Amino acid sequence: MISNNASGSTILIVDDNPTNLKVLFSYLKQTGFRTLIATSGQAAIQQVNRLPPDLILLDVMMPGIDGFETCRRLKENDLSKDIPIIFITALNDTANKVKGFEAGGVDYITKPFQQEEVLARINAHLTIQIQKRDLYELNATKDKFFSIIAHDLKGALGGLLVFSDLLATAMEDYNPTQIAQIAQKMNDSLKNKFKLLENLLDWARLQKGNIEYKPEKLDLYTLAEANIELLCDTAQSKEITLINTIKPDTFFIFADPNMTQTIIRNLIANALKFTHPSGSVSIGADHQNDFVAIAIIDTGIGMEPEILKKLFKIESKIKMVGTANERGTGLGLLLCKEMAEKQGGQIWAESEVDKGSTFTFTVPISS
C-alpha cells in the first residue's frame, strides 16, 4: 500500500535480468507507482539525466559498470545526488550490503523478492525524501521571512528615521516647500512598507494554513477596475498609462475575492515598478477551457531568461531595482503563486529584455 504522500512517485528499476525487471515492474505497477526501466548502469545514468526519478532500485551485479560504481556516479551528479538508492542484492550477501551503504545507498532489498518488504522499504524511503523536501522548503520560508525583516524593513525604517530627524531637529533650516517634499518622501516610504507588511502577513498566514479559501462568482471587470483605481496614483506619478481591456459582463470567475484581488494588485504594482515613464501597463483576459487566464502586460525593462527561471522559487535571491529606484523582495510573486495554486490555477511569466513582461495566472471559470 502506498502512503498518500508517496502516491504517484516515479521509480527507476536498474537490472540486467529480465525476470527481476518483470517481477519488480509488476509489483510497482499494481501499487500505482510510475515506473522506468534501465538494463545497465550507463543507461540508468542517461535516464536520470533525462528525467530524474523519486527513487532508484539498483542491482549490484551488472555488465559494464556495476551497481556500486553507478551509485557513486549518481551521487557525484547534482541532478541525482539526493535521490534515494536501494540496492538489489542476494540474501546474506553482507559484504555487498556494506559496500552499497559506503557507495551512497540508503537501503537494500534481497532476492528472492518479498512483495510486502519491497513496497514497505520503497514507501519508507519515499516518505523520508518527501519529509526532507518539506523541511528544506520550511527552512527556505523561514530564511526568506527573516531576510525581509532584517534587510528590507530595517532599511526602510532607517530611511524614515533620517527624514524624521531632519524635521525634528532642523525644521527651521527648510522652507515650506522643502518640508512638504520631505513629508511626501516619508509618506511614499510608509505606503510601500505597509504594502510589504500586508504581503508578509498574508504569506505567513498562508504558510500556517490560516487563510480560508472562499470562492464565489465574480465579475472580473469589476475586480480589474478596483485595482486600477487603487494604483492609479502610482501610475500617474510615473506617467504610465494603466489600461483595463476587460469588458463588463464578459468574464465571470469562481474565485476567492481577497486572494484574486491580492494577485492582481501585486502583479500590477510589480509591472508599474519596472516600467519607464510614458510606458503602459494593461490587464486583459481570455478563456482557457474551464479557466480564465488573466494577464498583466507591461512595456517595461523585461528580464533575462536566467532571472525568469527563478521568479517563483522561494530559495532564489533576486534583487532588481525599479525604474524609479524602487526596491523589491520577490515576496509578492511568491504570494501570487501560492494564492493562484490554492485556487486550483497556475501562474507564469514571459519576458524580453527592453520590451516588457507578461504575467499570467488562471482561475476557474464560473459555470
CATH numbers and ranges of domains, the chain: 10-113 (3.40.50.2300), 139-211 (1.10.287), 212-367 (3.30.565.10)
Stretches in the chain below the pLDDT threshold 70: 1-7, 91, 141, 143-159, 192, 195-196, 199, 207, 314-319, 327-330
Calpha distance 335→258 (Å, rounded): 12
Q: Is 326:192 a contact under the CB 8 Å cutoff?
A: yes
| Predicted pLDDT of residue 56 | 97
CB distance 84 to 128 below 8 Å: yes
Do residues 328 and 322 lie in contact, with contact meaning Cβ atoms separated by under 8 Å? yes
What confidence score (pLDDT) does residue 95 get? 81
Q: What pLDDT was estimated at residue 286? A: 97
pTM of the model: 0.58
Distance between CA 12 and CA 38 in Å, rounded? 7
Question: Would you state the pLDDT for residue 5?
Answer: 56
Distance CA 57, CA 35 (A): 11
Amino acid at 341: E
Under a CB-based contact definition with an 8 Å cutoff, are residues 41 and 69 in contact?
Answer: yes
315 Cβ contact partners less than 8 Å away, ≥ 6 residues apart = 140, 143
Q: At what angle do helices 18-31 and 115-147 cross, to 10 degrees?
A: 60
Question: Could you tell me which of 16, 240, 56, 31 has the C-alpha nearest to residue 120?
Answer: 31
**265 within 8 A of 230, measured Cβ to Cβ:** yes
* Run of H or E residues at 95: helix 94-103
**Torsion from C-alpha of 128, 134, 139, 140, nearest 10 degrees:** 130
| Residue from 260, 271, 262, 168 nearest 214 by CA | 260
Q: Which pLDDT value is given to residue 323?
A: 86
With vertex at residue 290, the alpha carbon angle to CA 289 and CA 294, rounded to the nearest 5 degrees, is: 85
How many whole angstroms separate alpha carbon 37 and alpha carbon 163? 66
- Identify the helix (H) or strand (E) that includes residue 226: helix 220-237
- Per DSSP, the three-state class of 62 is coil
Task: Give dist(CA 66, CA 121) in Å, integer.
Answer: 22
| CA–CA separation, 309 and 325 (whole Å) | 23
CB 109 within 8 Å of CB 100: no
Max intra-chain CA distance, the chain? 91
* The C-alpha cell that represents 327 in the structure block: 526596491
Cα distances from 274 to residues 51, 53, 192, 232, 316, in angstroms, run: 36, 39, 15, 15, 19
173: DSSP letter: G
Gyration radius of the chain over CA positions: 27
Q: What pLDDT, in 10s, does the model give residues 351-366? A: 999 999 999 999 999 9
pLDDT at res. 312? 84
Task: Please give the pLDDT value at position 165.
Answer: 80
56 close to 24: Cβ distance less than 8 angstroms: no
Q: Which pLDDT score, from 0 to 100, does residue 321 have?
A: 79
**What is the H or E stretch that residue 253 is in?**
strand 252-255
Contacts of 156 (CB under 8 A, 6+ apart): 189, 192, 193, 196
